[in-house]
Amino acid sequence: MILNLAVQAVQMLLVLAFAPLLMGFVRKVKARLLRRQGPPLIQPYRDLVRLLRKEVVLADSASRLFRTIPYLIFAATWVAAALVPTFGTRLMFSWSADLIVIIALLGLARFFLALAGLDVGTSFGGIGSSREVMIASLAEPAMLMIVFTLALVAGSTQLSTMAGFLASGEAGLRVSLGMALIALIMVAIAENARIPIDNPSTHLELTMVHEAMVLEYSGRHLALIDLSAELKLLLYVSLIACLFAPWGIAAPDAGLKALLIGVTAYIAKLAAGGFLLAVFETSIAKMRIFRVPEFLGAALMLGLLATLLLFVSRSL
Amino acid sequence: MALTVVLAIAAALFTVSALSLALKGSALDRPVVYGGSLALSAIGLAVGLNALIEQAPAETLILPIGLPWLGAHFRLDALSAFFLTVINLGGGAASLYALGFGRHETAPQRVLPFYPLFLAGMNVVVIADDAFTFLFSWEFMSLSSWALVMAHDHVRANLRAGYVYLVMASFGTLALLLAFGLLAGPDGAYAFDAIRGAHSSPTLIALVLLLVLIGTGSKAGLVPLHAWLPLAHPAAPSHVSGLLSGVMTKVAVYAFVRIVFDLLGNPAWWWSVVVLALAGVTCVMGVLYALMQHDLKRLLAYHTVENIGIIFIGLGLALGFQVYGLGWAAALSFTAALLHVLNHSLFKNLLFLGSGAVLTASGERNMEHLGGLIHRMPLTAFTFLVGCVAISALPPLNGFVSEWLTFQAILQSPQLPSWGLKFLVPAVGALLALSAALAAACFVKAFGITFLGRPRTEAARRAHETDRFSLTAMFVLAALCLLAGILPGFFIDALAPVAKAMVGNSMPLQREVPFLSIVPIAESRSSYNGLLVFLFMVFSGATSATVIHRLASNKLRRGPAWDCGYPDPSPATQYTASSFAQPIRRVFGTLVFRASEQVEMPPPGDPGPARLVVRLSDVIWDTLYEPIARAVEYVAERLNRLQSLSIRHYLSFVFVALVGLLLVLAIWP
């Protein structure tokens, strides 16, 4: 009981501590691949601290909601990130929310972020919100189809149970799981506003989506939004790791040693995930906004196909 | 006893209606009508809740009115009690709201007498226990609501709305009439008890099912029978729109459940295929139509179509599970559907009431003329936002719970042995997921364009907060949305007797689950704790706010908007409702609406403005309704000649008809 609570608490702080590091790592690797020196690994932390200390400059037409939204987004994303198994499946509160709830919590964060884009009443904010909901309208169903696939394989929508089942190796190699993995990676790229869907380092461009919505934010509000975005990236890498690379993850009855192994394995997985993301991003060009539906439509179809295969094979 | 009370409420509502006529012109008529309706709805709510929670046995009553050999049968069982609760909860909230809102009514005499009658009609439908009483009250409900839709008949569009509604309502009632005729058989056994006991042939039952789908689907708004709904619901005064969308469509769901689950019995596997296919299409079409609207009330009305689809997905799954004896899964999907009935009645009512507040504050329903209302009416904006989050199926509010349960039910369906369902159910799941994501987009648009940004017109700039009665009604509904979202276990338990009576099984008791979680099947499969998620979010939001304000900075400075350095003071530079939906229109619209965009540039040298023309066509209206309307007109014109013949022609027609009928009788085996 105490240990469970400790694991949960450590996890909540761990994701918060690692999220900027992962972002810094991805940026560093990307810069090195482009033969640049790149910012130091801890640059995201410095940015956050500096933003937190600065005053907020709020647009005249911003409403009260605009000031509340960063906290709402951070709360929803943090709760979601705290419920995805990272180094151990022994999470105290994993029963309070299954994978569908985690996806819906991220949906809640996006709902409010899109509202924030509309709040000040600028054209850039509107463009960001409008495109974000278009992307989400395809990414979310694709994600739910992936959840369906995994839930049918594992016989549960509970993330800890799923991770435990997939770690035990009972699932074996399945075509459906392969399709789900590809679809999940595609959705993760879209959800985190990475290339080729959106460019995280863009500014003042007509192609921006995520950055356009948060243009009017400054100071501590911007810090919270950036931290939420970093948490979301960490969440998706952890999700892919705990479902499709569950090696070393500590089982529910594991002791302290297994937990330590779990943490080491988790750090290695994060590094691998970040490295692959950076390599992928440097090797591909950003696509036109109206090519995105085709990209995500493919993810949706893969998810649906994977689910259908499971439905059909269940009776054979 | 409870049944007598409900009938007394209906009678009292008639009296209130009569009183409004007597008080015509005096200042008392509005408080009397809405105050009376509020009190009577409160009593009805208490009766319904009491019957549901006490799990009282079914109560019957026969009154010597109606058909002479039949009498009027009434029955109050768990299903009726649940729908009584939904109706009176909605009715009560709308009446409370109207105590303040009704002040702005331009034609009170067109609304006041019919409003209590409409409530009475809905109350009686759910307790009717024979075909005659049922159809009579059903038609009464339709006609009284038609009168309310026609309240503002000086608006041309409303005339058309009323006409289309009348045609569709009569058509639906006709289908139900035929269905009951087939069910009652040649002996005319119209009492529901007799119908329950009768065993009809499978072909007859199939025919009845299709007729019932048409009859109830046209009232509920199943695609393609939804055409009247987005015209008629917004035409009525806003509190009535809330009742039409939030409550009357639920009475149609009641009728479907009563006839299909209770009276017909023994479903066949293809029923669920038909219902699921229709429901899946309804879901996505409803929300896509809603996304294309820029009239706030019409957007909400189209969205009702989507939610009806979600409810029917649950019902269709329940039918499928029932056929193959998977009672617990049937109970799960049935409960999910009924929970969504309650949830939708709460947030749709709330949103329509909010749109009414916007309408009185600014005189506008068109979102393109609104904007920035959150500054002028913060309380309305808050409740509207709660409704938007709830209807978008986002945690921790109530809409999420029922969709989550529906998803859990879908995940149980690989156990169905039927191949048709095996292929259909995942597709329906994908449609449901798609419609959930599109609903969120739709309500970002509805809230963002109406309440956020800068005011687009003078009317929006001068808007003011609405009155206290209206605010109270909206806050009560918003609180219920939160309550049903964080404590869903109590609501699921209350639905247990209904599921037990209709599908013969009920979900496991949720009050025995520790920490107020809900566990639909087993904890290892799935569980959800709305309360904990809510508390977690409040905790982490509050902690982060406190820590940042204490340790970092809490300074704030106001300045002009940044907008990449080129802010434009004109509010016309903001995104509008149409431009917000443009990407989605491009992705889905070309397929569904044959949407086309055309840029008309003036020739070089001409300083005139360029124009962007967007054309959308309603495929269902064009391919289904237009040809039927044309055919009816064609036939009517041909038959027109029969109206001016001489008496001997008519006599010969009568003679030919008589001979024809006698021949039929002679040939009939």
The answer to whether A95 contacts B529, with C-beta atoms less than 8 Å apart, is yes
Contact B452, B372 (CB under 8 A): yes
Residues 6+ apart with CB under 8 A from B649: none
> At B85, phi and psi to the nearest 5?
-60, -50
pLDDT range class, residue A204, cuts 50, 70, 90: low
Give the chain A residue whose CA is nearest to the CA of B576: A126
Flag whether pLDDT at A252 surpasses 80.
no
DSSP code for A314: T
Q: How far apart are the first and last CA of chain A?
A: 42
Could you tell me which residues come within 8 angstroms of residue A13 by beta carbon, excluding any fewer than 6 positions away? none
* Mutation target among B423, B449, B562 for the A interface, most CBs of A within 10 A: B562
The whole-number pLDDT of residue B268 equals 85
Chain B residue at shortest CA distance from A100 = B404
β-bridge mates for residue A88, sequence order:
A250
Query: What is the C-alpha to C-alpha distance for residues A270 and A267, in angstroms, rounded to an integer?
Result: 5
* Subunit contact B444:A114, Cβ cutoff 8 A: yes
Residue B486 binned pLDDT confidence (cut-offs 50, 70, 90)? very high
- Asked whether the beta carbons of residue A75 and residue B544 sit closer than 8 angstroms, the reply is yes
pLDDT band at A71, cuts 50/70/90?
very high
Chain B residues closer than 8 Å to A219 by CB? 553, 555
Give the containing element (helix H, strand E) for B60.
strand B59-63
Interchain proximity B426–A308, CB inside 8 Å: yes
Q: Looking at the partner chain, which of A62, A65, A215 has a beta carbon nearest the beta carbon of B563? A: A215
Task: State yes or no: pLDDT of A233 exceeds 90.
Answer: yes
Q: What's the pLDDT tens digit per position in A78-134? A: 999 998 988 887 777 878 889 999 999 999 999 999 999 999 999 899 999 999 999
Q: In chain B, where are the structural domains located?
A: 1-266, 619-667
Let me know if B535 is exposed, middle or buried by CB neighbors in 10 A (0-12, 13-18, 19+). Answer: middle
Q: With a cut of 70, say whether residue A316 has pLDDT above it.
A: no
Residues β-bridged to residue B559? A59
At residue B481, the pLDDT reads 96
Give per-residue pLDDT as tens, B65-124. 888 888 899 999 999 999 999 999 999 999 999 999 988 888 888 999 999 999 999 999
Query: For position B37, what pLDDT does the model report?
Result: 96
Minimal CA separation from A256 to chain B, in Å: 24
Name the residue type at position B648: R
The verdict on a CB contact (< 8 Å) between A152 and B411 is yes
For the cut 70, the answer to whether the pLDDT of residue A290 exceeds it is yes
Q: With an 8 Å Cβ cutoff, are B533 and A107 in contact?
A: no
Q: Which of A243-257, B292-306, B551-565 has the lowest mean pLDDT?
A: A243-257
The span from the CA of A85 to the CA of A91, in Å, is 7
Supply B574's token pair. Answer: 């903001």
Taking only the tens place, the pLDDT of each residue in B16-51 is: 999 999 988 788 889 999 999 999 999 999 999 999
* DSSP-assigned beta bridge partners for residue B130: B191
Label the pairing between strands A56-59 and B556-559: parallel
Contact state of B575 with A123 under an 8 Å Cβ cutoff: yes
**Mean pLDDT of the region B356-383:** 94
The answer to whether the CB of A197 falls within 8 A of the CB of A295 is: yes
| Of A316 and B662, the one with more pLDDT | B662
Per DSSP, chain A holds a count of helices (H) and strands (E) of 11, 1
Percent of chain A with pLDDT over 70: 98
Interface contact flag, A55 B429, Cβ < 8 Å: no
The residue segments making up the domain with residue A105 are 2-313
Query: How many Cα atoms are found within 13 Å in the side-chain-facing hemisphere of A115?
Result: 32
The answer to whether the CB of A91 falls within 8 A of the CB of A11 is yes
Pairing verdict, β B611-615 and B596-600: antiparallel
Q: Which residues of A touch B561 (CB under 8 A)?
A: 59-62, 120-122, 216
Q: Where are the alpha helices (DSSP H) in B504-646?
A: 530-547, 577-580, 582-584, 590-592, 619-620, 626-639
Under an 8 A CB cutoff, do B556 and A63 touch? no
For residues B460 and B35, what is the distance between their CA atoms, to the nearest angstrom? Answer: 31
What is residue A87's predicted lDDT score, i.e. its pLDDT?
86
Amino acid making up residue B506: S
Nearest chain A CA: its distance from B499 CA (Å): 24
Chain A residue numbers touching B582 (CB-CB < 8 A):
130
Are B430 and A141 in contact by the 8 Å Cβ rule? The answer is yes
Q: Which of B501, B500, B46 minimizes the C-alpha distance to B509? A: B500
Range with the poorest average pLDDT among A241-250, B170-179, B426-435: A241-250
Query: Do B75 and B246 form a contact (C-beta atoms < 8 A)?
Result: no
Q: What is the pTM of this model?
A: 0.95
pLDDT one-digit tens code per residue, B227-241: 999 999 999 999 999
**Residue A13 tokens, joined:** 């702080």
Mean pLDDT confidence for B623-642: 92
Q: Cα–Cα distance between B655 and B147 in angstroms, integer?
A: 41
Higher pLDDT, A219 or B419: A219
Instruction: Check whether A208 has a pLDDT greater than 90.
Output: no
- Of the two residues B521 and B141, the one the predictor is more confident about is B141
Cross-chain Cβ contact B557/A123 below 8 Å: no
pLDDT tier at B539, thresholds 50, 70, 90: very high
Cα–Cα dist B170/B183, whole Å: 20
Q: Which residue of A has its CA nearest to B539?
A: A75
Q: Which two tokens stand for residue B501?
A: 């009576």
Distances (CA, A) of B526 to A158, A207, B133, B337, B496: 5, 40, 44, 18, 19
Helix (H) and strand (E) counts for chain B?
28, 5
Nearest Cα residue in chain A from B537: A75
Could you give the number of structural domains in chain A?
1
Are A61 and B454 a contacting pair at CB < 8 A?
yes
Locate the DSSP E strands across B494-621. 556-559, 596-600, 611-615
Q: What is the ipTM of this complex?
A: 0.96
Token pair belonging to B267? 């479903």
How close does chain A come to B517, measured CA to CA in Å?
A: 7
Contact list, A108 vs chain B (CB under 8 Å):
389, 394-395
Which residues of chain B lie closer than 8 angstroms to A62, CB-CB?
561
Give the three-class secondary structure for B396: coil
Single-letter code of the amino acid located at A309: L
Contact A133 B445 (CB under 8 A): yes
